[in-house]
Amino acid sequence: MSIYHKKQGDFRQTGFTLLELLVVLVIMGIMLGAVTLNAVQSVHQRLQTDAQRISLLLQLAREEAIVRNRQTAFEVFEQGYQFIVLNDNKWEKIADLDTLRARQFTFPETKLSIISNDPISAEKLRIVFGREPVSRPFTMILRVGSDQVSINADGVGHFVVE
């Protein structure tokens, strides 16, 4: 946009040139691209976030088993996981703690495997926390495509995401 002012016989142009406007638009585009790249998490980062959440919930479930003096378990189903408790020789969903509610994985195609010295049934992946403060160590692996994250449990309450 140009505005011409007449001042003592000469014309002076004010406003922005097309080149200046294009430079500003290019700079804004680069900045927007950088912000978008930082805001969108990669598959590995989102998988790591899931693993962090699961490790914290496993620690909470372990502590609940000790405090309440009853077995508590982490169980995997097709697209998520839940926490259950043993009441009168029957496994039931935990209803009185919202933090240990059933959850879905971030990616529905997440595959979870558990490596442990204890036998794990093929149809249900389940980790049982007993009333005693020491349990068996295990490694849990979350995998989506070629990305994977592991949670290592040492058996005394430490869960480390790698």
Residues 66 and 103 in one domain: yes
State pLDDT tens for residues 80-135: 999 999 988 999 998 888 999 999 998 889 998 888 776 655 456 888 888 887 78
- CA pair distance 85, 91, nearest whole angstrom: 5
Q: Which domain holds residue 24?
A: 3-35
Residues 137 and 58 in one domain: yes
Please name the residues in contact with 145: beta carbons below 8 A apart, sequence gap of 6 or more.
Answer: 43, 109
Q: With 80 as the cut, is the pLDDT of residue 25 above it?
A: yes
The pTM assigned to this predicted structure is: 0.72
Can you count the helices (H) and strands (E) in the chain?
A: 2, 11
Residue type present at position 151: I
Residues 28 and 81 in one domain: no
Please state, for a pLDDT cut of 90, what percent of the chain lies above it. 37
Tell me the C-alpha to C-alpha distance, in Å, between residue 64 and each of 26, 84, 160: 56, 11, 19
- CA pair distance 91, 71, nearest whole angstrom: 9
Q: Could you tell me the CATH number of the domain that includes residue 149? A: 3.55.40.10
Number of folded domains in the chain?
2
- CA pair distance 42, 32, nearest whole angstrom: 18
Half-sphere exposure of 36 (CA within 13 A, CB side): 6
